[in-house]
């Protein structure tokens, strides 16, 4: 596994944890958790961009 794939994998793992925290926060009524959901989507997009750029 090269360095680029490791960076993309790390971003995806962090994004999954942020997505889970955002879902839990939204379920508990926190409006600030929406920012967590949006940033999770941004991180997934960034990891996809990194993988595409490395090909």
Tens of pLDDT along 3-49? 888 999 999 999 999 999 999 999 999 888 999 899 999 999 999 99
pLDDT-based confidence at 55, cuts 50/70/90? confident
| pTM for the whole structure | 0.82
CA distances from 19 to 1, 42, 44, 52, 54 (A): 25, 11, 10, 22, 25
8: domain range? 3-54
Helices of type H across 1-55: 3-27, 33-54
Domain count, the chain: 1
Question: What pLDDT score was predicted for residue 2?
Answer: 81
């Amino acid at each position: 596994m090269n360095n680029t794939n490791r960076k993309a994998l790390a971003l995806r793992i962090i994004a999954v944890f942020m997505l889970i925290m955002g879902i839990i926060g939204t379920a508990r009524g926190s409006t600030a958790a929406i920012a967590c959901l949006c940033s999770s989507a941004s991180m997934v997009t960034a990891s996809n961009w990194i993988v595409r750029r490395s090909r």
